[in-house]
Amino acid sequence: MAGVLQGVTVIELAGIGPGPFCGMMLADHGARVIRVERPGHAGRFGDAGNRDILNRNREVIELDLKDPAAIETLKDMAKSADALIEGYRPGVLERLGLGPDVLLGVNPKLVIGRMTGWGQQGPMAPLAGHDINYIALSGALHSYGRKGEKPSFPVNAVGDFGGGGMMLAFGVVSAILLARSGGVGQVVDCAMVDGAAILSAMTYTFLGNGQWRDERGVNLLDSGTHFYDTYETSDGKWISLGSIEPQFYALLLEKTGLTGDPDFAQQMNPAKWDELKERMTALILTKTRDEWCSIMDGTDICFAPVLSLKEAPQHPHNVARGTFVEDGGMVQPAPAPRFSATPAPAPKLAGR
C-alpha cells in the first residue's frame, strides 16, 4: 500500500470511537494496521458491520485475549510492530498480561498508544464517560452555545475525534519517529479530557488576556457577534458568515446593502452586537440560501452555505478536490491531509 506511512506496522486492539479513528488515520496514509477483534466480532462493529468508515483500510484477525495462546500470539506480533494502540480502561491491558512492561520487554522500540477519556492516572481515571463528559471537564463545553442558553455540544467531534483519535495518531507517529531515530519505545497516554483542553488553547489565550468573557454567546467566536454566526434564510436553510477582518466586514456591508449605516460601522462595539444581530437576522431572512450564494459566493466576505451531510459531497469545491469518495456504496470523507509525493491510496471499507 502506498502512502507516507508505508512501512509502519500498527496493532490495533479493537474498540469504538477514537481508537478506530486513530487506526483509520494511520491506515489511510499507508500504515499496515492489523485490527485484533474478539472471536466472532470481526466485521460486526455495532450495526454498521463492514460499512463502518472508521474501520476502513485494515487487516483483521480474531484473537481471544483471555486465552494464553492468543496472548503469546500477540506478543509475537508486537516483536516486529512499530506500535500497538488500545482503548481499554486503565489496568485492563495489564490484567490481560500485556502491560507496557511486558510489551516493551519483547520489543523495546514499541510505541504503546493508550486511548482513554480521563487518562491513565488521576481520581477519575477508572470511571466511565463519553465525549460530552470529557469536553465538559476540560472547560471546552462551557464555551459552546448561545447567550443565555444551555451548552451545545458539537456531536462527538471535539472529545472523541479531535481531542482523542487525532491526538493519539499524532502521539503515536511522533513516538515512532523517536524510536526509529535511536530512541526507545514508550507509552503515549492520550486522554480525551487533555485533548479537548489543548484544542481550547486559543480560547484560554483570549481569556488570559482579558479578551474573552467566561460565559457563552457573548464573545468574538462563540456567536456573540453579528458578523461571525449562522443565519437562517427565507427557505428554511442556513448560511455562515465569518467577516472578522475590516476588509472582509466592509465587503459584507457592501453585499448586504449596509455600507454607510452608522450602527453597522461600529463593528467591534460589543454593546451594539445584540441589536446588529437582530437586524442581520431579519435581513438574511429576506432571501433564499441560493440567492445569498449568488451574491456572496466568490468574494472574500468569508461566507459559505451551511450544507447538509448529503449536500456537502456534491458541492463543486468538494467535488474538485475529491474531498469525498465512494466505496462499496458508502460516501465517505477522503483521507486527509494531502501529501504531494506520497498520496494516500483510495480507501477501502473493511472486507473489500
d(CA 55, CA 64) in angstroms, rounded, equals: 20
In the prediction, which pLDDT does 156 show? 97
- Answer yes or no: 160 catalytic: yes
- The stretches of 243-323 forming alpha helices (DSSP H) are 246-255, 270-284, 289-296, 316-321
Cα R_g (the chain), whole angstroms: 24
Which one is catalytic: 82, 160, 222, 229? 160
Q: Count the alpha carbons within 13 Å of 236 in the hemisphere toward its beta carbon.
A: 0
- DSSP secondary structure letters along 158-222: IIIIIIIIHHHHHHHHHHHHHHHTT---EEEEEEHHHHHHHTTHHHHHHHHTT-S-SSTTSSTTT
Report how far residue 320's alpha carbon sits from residue 334's, in angstroms, rounded to the nearest whole number: 12
User: In angstroms, rounded to a whole number, what is the distance separating the alpha carbons of residues 42 and 36?
Assistant: 8
Spatial distance between the Cα atoms of 10 and 29, rounded to a whole number of angstroms: 12
Sign of the torsion angle spanned by Cα atoms 215, 216, 217, 221: positive
Q: Rounded CA gap, 17 and 291, in Å?
A: 39
CB atoms within 10 A of CB 215: 14
Active-site residue among 130, 261, 297, 300?
130
**Average pLDDT of each block of 10 consecutive residues along the chain (352 residues)?**
92 95 97 94 57 93 96 98 98 97 98 98 97 98 97 97 98 98 97 98 98 97 98 98 98 98 98 98 98 98 98 98 95 96 93 76
